[in-house]
């Protein structure tokens, strides 16, 4: 009888002859927790057929073992039908059965099938038994372990389906106009747009293109695309079959602003053991190798809303154990920043002439980032940074160096590759600029050059949101002053980079709606020192003008927070107001050099004319920018105005008696230095332009920034820079406007200026009304802040500082991508030359920094010494000391959270074993029944990701309707034949042969009693300690 016949037999045979009921399986498997003991024949090869009959057992840790000697059975060992073996030595056949693959091999018509047990990189084992009851026990014990995961945290990755209800009339949750790149429907006149194909899409034979549509996301997780003209349905997408990693923002380096990708990534699904043969596009063309679809939205806020809404219906990746409670899981935040610095290539047959090169970064065999093109150089310089935010481990990061195609051959050619694993990204070996060998894609033994890169990684494991309730309550209960003092503490700054830590806190307080209180506390903390200096000068009859002129010009937690906050809130305003002027300067390479020493022209008359023209150009540029800023005062986002108002009010309190203009200039200098001038100095850094600045536009922007900064504080140019003196007329002509502008943006006076810019901040955003449980772990809007990731970074830093300060053992920690890095000496990477062997090649460490120039001329111009040492104000200082108790509570909660996180990571890193709690064992058994399948070869799989749910090649092992197992009922001989000869008919789990195998069988009453006892014990443990509710492994 062949396997096909057995498959047919499994579906056609009546269940009346051999009833294998699920309730019986539930009672047996969960009682013995996957263990087994019995006489089994086993061998390593069916060809050789060296069968050995031995007593085998599966231990409580999943080890398949055989006895080396016979057991001594004594009557005193018998108690309640339980047999105990003494003086037993065993040897492992398979040390760990977790994730084993089972296959049933048919035997003779009257014999039971042989069970083949396979594991990766291990010898397969074959097991067979004589009686049905032993077979059932052995098979279901093996099935129990096949669903459990091997060692390694990422091996415990599970996908949680969204809770999208089945509705007859689903509601519309989100509606937006958009452009779509995807399959073109044949039967509709959709109005194809003449836009270029997304450059990161691979070529396919499918008929695809851009077309306008109306996107409608419904409460059942279906996204409909409708014609904008008549509202008819084009086709739909089933979001529920996608993973969250398959819904992605498209990086701006691909010339894609406000783009969103959505589609099946086969390589990712292969890693997650998820089928790629799924129908993603409904009511439309079926494509074998669809590249996915791309949506282009009109506004950034649309992209933010849609990516959160779409991901709420997708499969969520997390680290968890099967059957465990949702509170016992971890969400992965796998972030890394890839910096492509420069390349060095040799002339060869691959590159006989000066090449035109660029670099692409690929994950899951798809392009997600690209550098600009550098022409005519074997040593191209890029210095580009790309951020990746992944929710699972990556298989590899592939970096491809490509040569732009010529006019004759327009196809771009890959000339070299670098492949990096997740381990090499996270181990810190690339955290400093490192030159890696670039290998030929055709022959990995050929080195064509080197590429200097740097990768900063951050692998964090985020607890479920329920764990942060107390932590957030403490943060919300006016602990802002304590944290402000904490950030500015010298000992804390020694351990962590304060500016990065300040960014974490800004994100947290902005996500929970407390950013105003946080920024106000930072201002208070910094003014403590300033007030002390001013007070001492007043007592000594000294001026404090130098303090006002340099106030908040240095880097501090406040200034970095303000800069980040202003740019986040005001990016759209800056782009719509002065962005076009900056792009014109960069792309047209406008020169306005007014320093005679920098003009390389020997003819004095020509030099004079060049300088006059350049002064006129500079004047026109600063005039244009200032007029734009002044006339759009009413368009400046209200959140920025609120902070400027708070800042001005606090400064006025400590500067009483000073000239009002002094205060105004102090306030305006903060706005220009921390908002306008950084973008003017380096528009590339803030994504206003694509390419790097060369010397000409960089110098022009530096001069423009100098004039605007001097205008903001109404300071005239003097002898230090005589070539700028002619710009003093511009400053004098607009100084009254500066005072008026500052009064308006600090809300000292009403602003009746008309609003001229169309900003999204004036639009109302729809409230996302999908399931709160699905939204809670997703980034919050606006600005897509990963709230609980940031809180994880915060409690990690606080716990680390607290334990080191108090002399406790050091806690394992993850660091943030913004480099909340330890500055402790023993953790610093040595600057000495290192060579790391990678196969037959080398990594060459680069010791110089090669940091990007960021307007160094201007920063030197701003630097002024302040000889007065700060004297703290006693009253304000005392108010910070009073918050020390609250800070202590926050530290204690941080230590509790990090211990919870580390405990779960330790559990997940080991082999998965069955839980000791009855409730979770029942969950695991139900999971097996619901997710077990077999194919035509009688291979048995446990699929928790619905990979085989709609796959015709796989059938369910258990019939959920009848409550039986048709396959095994067809393969196991009818027990009534044996019973007809005189044996009593009873369940196979309670047959006499089971007793002879030494099982510790429990009667149904004992099982019920044990269930009740375990439940009571669990409740008692939960009442005594909060930590007891966390998942426990068996020992």
Task: Tokens for 649, please give them.
Answer: 């009010």
| C-beta atoms surrounding 455 within 10 Å | 20
| C-beta atoms surrounding 627 within 10 Å | 12
> Which residue in the block uniquely carries the two structure tokens 């109404």?
714
C-beta separation of 361 from 386 below 8 A: yes
pLDDT computed for residue 50 by the predictor:
87
331-462: which CATH number, 3.65.10.10, 3.40.50.280, 3.30.1360.120, 2.60.40.150?
Answer: 2.60.40.150
Question: What is 3-151+933-1021's CATH topology?
Answer: PH-domain like (2.30.29)
CA 249 – CA 55 distance, rounded (Å):
57
pLDDT computed for residue 746 by the predictor:
96
The predicted model scores a pTM of: 0.82
- Class of 169-316 per CATH? mainly beta
| C-beta atoms surrounding 116 within 10 Å | 19
CA 661 – CA 675 distance, rounded (Å):
21
Topology match between the domains 3-151+933-1021 and 169-316: yes
- Three-state SS for 540-560 is CCCCCHHHHHCCCCCCCHHHH
- For residue 443, whether the previous peptide bond is cis, meaning omega lies within 30 degrees of 0, is no
573-635+660-750: which CATH number, 1.10.506.10, 1.20.140.10, 3.30.390.30, 3.40.1350.10?
Answer: 1.10.506.10
Torsion sign (Cα): 237, 239, 244, 249: positive
Domain ranges of the chain: 3-151+933-1021, 169-316, 331-462, 464-526+767-837+874-901, 573-635+660-750
Q: Which residues contact 180 (CB under 8 A, 6 or more apart)?
A: 210, 211, 212, 213, 215, 225, 293, 294, 295, 296
The four Cα atoms 147, 151, 155, 161 give a dihedral, to 10 degrees, of 50
Nearest Cα to Cα of residue 728 among 864, 615, 595, 596:
615
Under-50 pLDDT residues of the chain = 1-19, 71-86, 810, 812-881, 976-1035
pLDDT computed for residue 962 by the predictor:
80
pLDDT computed for residue 885 by the predictor:
82
> Which residue in the block uniquely carries the two structure tokens 């000339």?
415
Nearest Cα to Cα of residue 516 among 632, 630, 650:
650
pLDDT computed for residue 27 by the predictor:
65
pLDDT computed for residue 189 by the predictor:
80
């Amino acid at each position: 009888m062949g396997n096909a016949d057995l498959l047919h037999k499994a579906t056609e045979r009546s269940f009346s002859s051999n009833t294998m009921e699920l309730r019986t399986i539930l009672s047996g498997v969960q009682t013995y927790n996957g263990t087994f003991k019995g006489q089994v024949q086993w061998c390593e090869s069916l060809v050789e057929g060296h069968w050995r009959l031995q007593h085998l057992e599966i231990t409580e840790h999943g080890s398949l073992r055989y006895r080396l000697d016979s057991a001594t059975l004594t009557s005193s060992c018998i108690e309640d039908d339980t047999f105990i073996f003494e003086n037993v030595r065993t040897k492992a056949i398979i040390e760990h059965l977790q994730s084993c693959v089972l296959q049933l091999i048919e035997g003779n018509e009257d014999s039971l099938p042989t069970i083949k047990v396979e594991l990766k990189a291990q010898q397969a084992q074959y097991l067979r038994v004589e009686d049905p009851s032993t077979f059932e026990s052995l098979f279901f014990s093996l099935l129990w372990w096949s669903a459990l995961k091997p060692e390694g945290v990422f091996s415990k990755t599970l996908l949680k389906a969204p809770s999208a209800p089945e509705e007859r009339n689903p509601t519309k949750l989100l509606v937006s106009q958009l452009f779509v790149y995807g399959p073109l429907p044949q039967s509709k006149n959709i109005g194809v747009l003449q836009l270029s194909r997304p450059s990161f899409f691979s070529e396919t034979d499918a008929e695809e293109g851009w077309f306008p549509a109306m996107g409608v996301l419904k409460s059942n997780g279906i996204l409909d695309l409708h014609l904008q003209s008549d509202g008819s349905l084009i086709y739909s997408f089933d979001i529920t079959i996608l993973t969250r990693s398959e819904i992605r923002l498209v990086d701006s380096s691909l010339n894609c602003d406000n783009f969103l990708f959505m589609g099946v990534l086969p390589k990712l699904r292969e890693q997650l053991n998820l089928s790629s043969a799924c129908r993603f596009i409904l009511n439309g063309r079926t494509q074998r190798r669809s590249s996915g679809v791309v949506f282009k939205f009109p506004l950034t806020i649309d992209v933010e809303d849609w990516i959160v809404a779409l991901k709420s219906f997708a499969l969520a990746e997390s680290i968890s154990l099967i059957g465990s409670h949702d509170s016992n899981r971890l969400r992965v935040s796998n972030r890394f920043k890839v910096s492509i610095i420069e390349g060095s290539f040799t002339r060869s047959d691959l590159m006989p002439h000066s090449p035109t090169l660029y670099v692409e970064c690929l994950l899951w065999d798809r392009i997600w980032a690209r550098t600009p093109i550098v022409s005519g150089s074997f040593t191209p310089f890029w210095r580009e940074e790309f951020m990746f935010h992944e929710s699972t481990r990556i298989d590899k990061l592939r970096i491809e160096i490509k040569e732009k195609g010529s006019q004759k051959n327009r196809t771009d050619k890959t000339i070299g590759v670098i492949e990096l694993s997740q381990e090499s990204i996270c181990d810190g070996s690339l955290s400093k600029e490192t030159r890696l060998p670039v290998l030929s894609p055709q022959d990995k033994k050929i080195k064509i050059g080197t590429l200097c890169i740097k990768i900063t990684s951050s692998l964090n494991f985020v607890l479920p949101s329920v764990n942060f309730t107390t932590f957030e309550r403490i943060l919300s209960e006016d602990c802002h002053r304590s944290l402000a003092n904490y950030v500015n503490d010298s000992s804390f700054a020694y351990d962590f980079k304060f500016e990065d830590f300040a960014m974490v806190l800004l994100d947290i307080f902005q996500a929970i709606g407390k950013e105003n209180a946080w920024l106000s506390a930072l201002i208070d903390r910094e003014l403590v020192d300033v007030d002390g200096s001013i007070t001492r000068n007043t007592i000594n009859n000294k001026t404090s003008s130098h303090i006002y002129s340099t106030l908040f010009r240095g880097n501090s937690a406040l200034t970095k927070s303000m800069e980040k906050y202003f740019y986040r809130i005001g990016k759209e305003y800056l782009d719509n107001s002065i962005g076009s002027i900056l792009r014109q300067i960069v792309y047209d390479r406008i020169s306005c050099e007014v320093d005679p020493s920098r003009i390389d022209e020997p003819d004095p008359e020509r030099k004079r004319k060049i300088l006059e023209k350049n002064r006129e150009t500079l004047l026109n540029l600063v005039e244009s920018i200032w007029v734009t800023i002044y006339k759009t005062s009413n368009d400046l986002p209200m959140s920025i105005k609120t902070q400027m108002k708070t800042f001005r009010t606090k400064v006025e309190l400590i500067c009483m008696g000073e000239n009002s203009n002094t205060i105004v200039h102090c306030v305006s200098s903060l706005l220009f230095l921390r908002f306008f001038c950084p973008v003017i100095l380096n528009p590339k850094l803030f994504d206003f332009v694509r390419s790097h600045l060369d010397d000409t536009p960089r110098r022009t922007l530096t001069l423009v920034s100098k004039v605007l900064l001097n205008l903001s504080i109404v300071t005239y140019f003097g002898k230090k820079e005589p070539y700028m003196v002619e710009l003093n007329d511009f400053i004098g002509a607009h100084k009254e406007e500066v005072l008026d502008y500052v009064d308006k943006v600090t809300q000292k006076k009403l602003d009746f200026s008309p609003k001229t810019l169309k900003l999204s901040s004036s639009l109302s955003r729809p409230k996302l009304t999908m399931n709160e449980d699905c939204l809670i772990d997703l980034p919050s809007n606006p600005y897509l802040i990963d709230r609980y990731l940031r809180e994880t970074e915060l409690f990690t830093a606080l716990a680390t500082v607290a334990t080191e300060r108090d002399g406790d053992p050091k806690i394992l920690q993850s660091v943030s991508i913004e480099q909340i890095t330890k500055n402790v000496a023993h953790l610093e990477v040595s600057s000495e030359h290192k060579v790391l062997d990678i196969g037959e090649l080398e990594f060459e460490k680069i010791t110089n920094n090669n940091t990007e120039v960021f307007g160094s001329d201007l920063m030197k111009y701003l630097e002024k010494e302040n000889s007065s040492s700060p004297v703290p104000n006693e009253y304000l200082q005392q108010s910070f000391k009073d918050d020390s108790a609250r800070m202590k509570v926050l530290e204690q909660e941080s230590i509790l959270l990090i211990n919870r996180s580390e405990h779960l990571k330790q559990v997940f890193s080991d082999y998965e074993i069955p839980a000791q709690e009855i409730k979770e064992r029942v969950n695991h058994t139900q999971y097996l029944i619901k997710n077990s399948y077999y194919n035509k070869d009688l291979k048995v799989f446990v699929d928790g990701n619905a990979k085989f749910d709609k796959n015709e090649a796989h059938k369910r092992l258990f019939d959920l309707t009848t409550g039986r197992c048709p396959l095994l009922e067809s393969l196991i001989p009818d027990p009534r034949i044996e019973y007809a000869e005189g044996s009593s008919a009873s369940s196979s789990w309670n047959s006499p042969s089971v007793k002879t195998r030494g099982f510790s069988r429990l009667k149904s009453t004992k099982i019920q009693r044990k269930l009740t006892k375990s439940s009571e014990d669990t409740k008692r443990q939960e009442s005594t300690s909060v930590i007891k509710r966390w998942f426990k492994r068996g020992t």
